[in-house]
Structure 1
Amino acid sequence: MTIDARTLLPIAERAVSIAGEIIKTKAPGVVTAKGDRDMATEVDYAVERAVREFLSRETPEIGFLGEEEGVSRTSDGLMWALDPLDGTANFLHGLPLCGVSLGLVDRDMPTLGIIDLPFLHLRYTAAEDSGAQANGSRIQVSNTRDLQTAIVALGDYAVGEKAQERNRPRLALTQELAARVQRIRMFGSAAIDLAWVADGKIDANIMLSNNPWDTAAGVIIAREAGATVIDLDGSPHSMSAQATIAASPKLVADLVELITEARNAADFNQLSSPTT
C-alpha cells in the first residue's frame, strides 16, 4: 500500500488529541506490573484503547501496534505505532515529562509522527518531506559542532531480567560521555529525547533500544528537522535497528567514535529495551 503520509496528519492529530485529554484528566488508577520496575497504569490502557478504536474507524486499512496490547490489526506495509503514555514512571510521580507518541510506519520506515506532551503544552508533528513543527512553527536541529558544547540525552538504564548485564554498555557509554560532553541528561521518555533533538533543545540522543512504539514518531520528527538518525554501527536507522542515535549532523562522526570507544569497554551486543 502506498499513501502520502501528509494526508493522514489531520487524523493523527485528532487521535493524539483524544489521548492527551485522557492523560490530562484521568488519574493513574490501578498500576499493573509488567516486570521488575516496569508498569502500566489505567491511563496507558485507556489511551491505547481509545486511539485504537478511533483509528480503526478512520483508517481501517492501516495496521495498528500498541505498546500495551500489541498488534490488533495488520495490513500490507502500513502500520500505526503507538506509545499511549511514554514516560509512565514520570507520570506516576507527577513529573510532566510524559506524553503520547504516534507514528506511521511504512515497510520498516516511519513516514509520519506526532508527539504530544500535554502537561508541557507542546505538540511536535512531521510528515515525510514536509519538515517538522512544534505547535505549528517550523523547528530544526541545533548547529552544535563539538561534543564539549553538546548536551546529550541518554535513554533509561535497563531494568528487569539481566539488568546488570544489560547496563554494562549503558554505564560504559555514560562514562565516555561524562568525560567529553558538556552535560548528560536523562528525561525518561524516548519521545521527548527525540523531539528535543529535533527542536534544538538538546544536541544528541543515544538510546540502546529501538521499540517501534517508542521511536517511530520521534525518528521522523528528528529527521524532518534535519537530524541524522543512525543505528549503533552508523548505518541509517530503521524500525529494525538495534539502537537509536539522533544528533545534529555535525556531531555524528564524533558520537560514532565515542560509541566505538565505549564498545571497547563493554559488550554492546547485550542490548535490550529499557523501560521509560
Structure 2
Amino acid sequence: MSDEIDTRALLAIAEAAVDEAETTFSAAVGAEPSVMKSPGDFATEADLSVERQLRHLLTSYTGLPVHGEEYGVVRPGEPVEINPNDDKADDLDGPRRDRSDSGPRTTDADALDRADADKNPGLDELPETCWVVDPIDGTANYAVGNPFCCILVSLVHKGEAVVAVTEMPLLGQRITARKGHGLYVDGHPARPMLPSDPGVTQISFGSILSQRRGNLPISYRQDMLNAIGRTYPRMRVTGSCGIDLAFTAAGIFGGTVTFSPNLWDNAAGMLLVREAGGVVTDFNGDPWRPGVSGLVAGEPEVHSILLDHIRSVPIGTAARNAQEIMDRGGIR
C-alpha cells in the first residue's frame, strides 16, 4: 500500500463495521466471565463474538489484516481462532498466555516469566497497514452493566494510527478521527481543547489495584495518584483506557494517566487526543510504544504538569532496575 491511503473511505468502513458489531455488543451486556486470561484479566463470550465479527467485516471490506486483543494478528484467509502457537500475537500483546479452543484459558507462570524477559518487537513487527481492534474495552465494567465500556477500532499504517473510532454504545456516543482532519464527536467537529482550570479540571487515572502482570507497582501508582491530586483534586477512575483517552480528546477530562502496555487499548485514543490538539507520551516524555506500561495524555499544559508530577514520584522498591524502567517510560 502506498504512503497515501484513503483515510476518509477507511474511516467510513470502520464506522460501518462498528455499527454492525454494536448490536452484538449491546445484546450481551452483563455477560459473565468465560475466559480467564491472566490474574485479574478475563474475557466474556461477547468479547470473542464482537472481535470475530469486526475481523470478518474489516477484512471483507478492505482485505487488510486485523490485530486484536483476543486473537492476535490474523491475515485475510486465515482462520480466526485462539492459537497458543501465535508467537507474533504473544509478542505484540505483552505477557504470553496459554490459549485453548475449548474451556477457559489458563495462564502458565513459567511462560509468563519467559515472555517478560523477551524483547518486545514493537510496531515494526506489525503488518505495514492493519486494523487494531479491542472488541470490549472495560470488560469488567461490561460484565456488570457499568456503561463505561467501549469498542475500539483503529487503522495503523507504518507504525502510526491514521484512523480511529471509539464507540460507547451504553453512553450513546461515538468519537472519531483521521490523521490531519481533526476530532469528531457524534459526527460533528469537536471544540478545541480549552486551557485548564485546576479547580474544575478532571483527570482520569488508570487501574490502581490491578492484579495483572507487567504493570507498574501498586504503591507507585498510589503515590502518583496522590501527587497529581495535589494539583488536580478531581481525579476519576473509569476502568476503561479507551474512554479515558476519548474523553480527554473531547475535553471532558483535561488529561489522563493510563497503565496499559497494549496497542489495542491505546492506538485509537492516542490519535483522538492528537487530532484534538493534545499531547500523548510515555512517562518519560517520549513517544509511547507497545510494551510500555505508562501513558500520559492531555491538553498541552495539563500534560506538562502531569509529567512533572509523575517524574517527582520515586518508582519504589518493587522495581528491580528503576533507572532502566524510567528510561523506557514505564514497565513492560
TM-score, shorter chain, exceeding 0.5 = yes
Describe the shift of the 1:67–1:123 C-alpha distance in structure 2 as closer, same or farther (beyond 3 A): same
Deviates more, 1:141-150 or 1:224-233: 141-150
Matched-pair contact (CA < 8 Å) for 1:124–1:195: yes
Query: What residue in structure 2 maps to residue 125 of structure 1?
Result: 176
Query: What residue in structure 1 maps to residue 261 of structure 2?
Result: 210
Query: What residue in structure 2 maps to residue 59 of structure 1?
Result: 62
Query: What residue in structure 2 maps to residue 100 of structure 1?
Result: 151
Query: What residue in structure 2 maps to residue 35 of structure 1?
Result: 38
Tell me the secondary structure at the aligned position of residue 97 of structure 1.
coil
Residue 24 (str. 1) matches residue 76 (str. 2): no
Describe the shift of the 1:265–1:148 C-alpha distance in structure 2 as closer, same or farther (beyond 3 A): farther
Mapping of residues 157-168 of structure 1, within 5 Å: 157=208, 158-161=210-213, 166-168=217-219
Find the aligned partners of 2:277 and 2:190 in 1 and give their Cα distance.
Answer: 9
Query: What residue in structure 1 maps to residue 295 of structure 2?
Result: 244
Deviates more, 1:70-79 or 1:94-103: 70-79
Deviates more, 1:182-191 or 1:170-179: 170-179
Deviates more, 1:141-150 or 1:66-75: 141-150
Query: What residue in structure 1 maps to residue 241 of structure 2?
Result: 190
Find the aligned partners of 1:252 and 1:147 in 2 and give their Cα distance.
Answer: 13
Describe the shift of the 1:183–1:141 C-alpha distance in structure 2 as closer, same or farther (beyond 3 A): farther
Residue 162 of structure 1 and its aligned partner are, at CA, apart by: 7.2
Tell me the secondary structure at the aligned position of residue 196 of structure 2.
coil
Matched-pair contact (CA < 8 Å) for 2:163–2:177: yes
Tell me the secondary structure at the aligned position of residue 129 of structure 1.
coil
Find the aligned partners of 2:18 and 2:259 in 1 and give their Cα distance.
Answer: 26
Residue 215 of structure 1 and its aligned partner are, at CA, apart by: 0.8
Mapping of residues 172-187 of structure 1, within 5 Å: 172-187=223-238
Residue 34 of structure 1 and its aligned partner are, at CA, apart by: 1.1
Find the aligned partners of 2:10 and 2:170 in 1 and give their Cα distance.
Answer: 25
Find the aligned partners of 2:6 and 2:24 in 1 and give their Cα distance.
Answer: 29
Which aligned runs of 4 or more in structure 1 are off by greater than 6 angstroms?
A: none
Tell me the secondary structure at the aligned position of residue 284 of structure 2.
coil
TM-score if structure 2 supplies the norm length? 0.75
Unaligned runs of 5+ in 1: none
The AA in structure 1 aligned to 2:62 is: T
**Greater strand content:** 1
Matched-pair contact (CA < 8 Å) for 1:147–1:251: no
When Rg is computed on C-alpha atoms for both structures, the one with the higher figure is 2
Find the aligned partners of 2:147 and 2:182 in 1 and give their Cα distance.
Answer: 26
Residue 125 of structure 1 and its aligned partner are, at CA, apart by: 0.7
Query: What residue in structure 1 maps to residue 280 of structure 2?
Result: 229
Find the aligned partners of 2:27 and 2:284 in 1 and give their Cα distance.
Answer: 42
Describe the shift of the 1:185–1:236 C-alpha distance in structure 2 as closer, same or farther (beyond 3 A): same
Could you list the per-position Cα deviations for residues 134-181 of structure 1 after superposition, in whole angstroms to 9, with x for gaps in the alignment?
A: 111111454233545431111113313477x73232112112122221
Matched-pair contact (CA < 8 Å) for 2:129–2:157: yes
Q: Percent identity?
A: 30
Matched-pair contact (CA < 8 Å) for 1:141–1:198: no
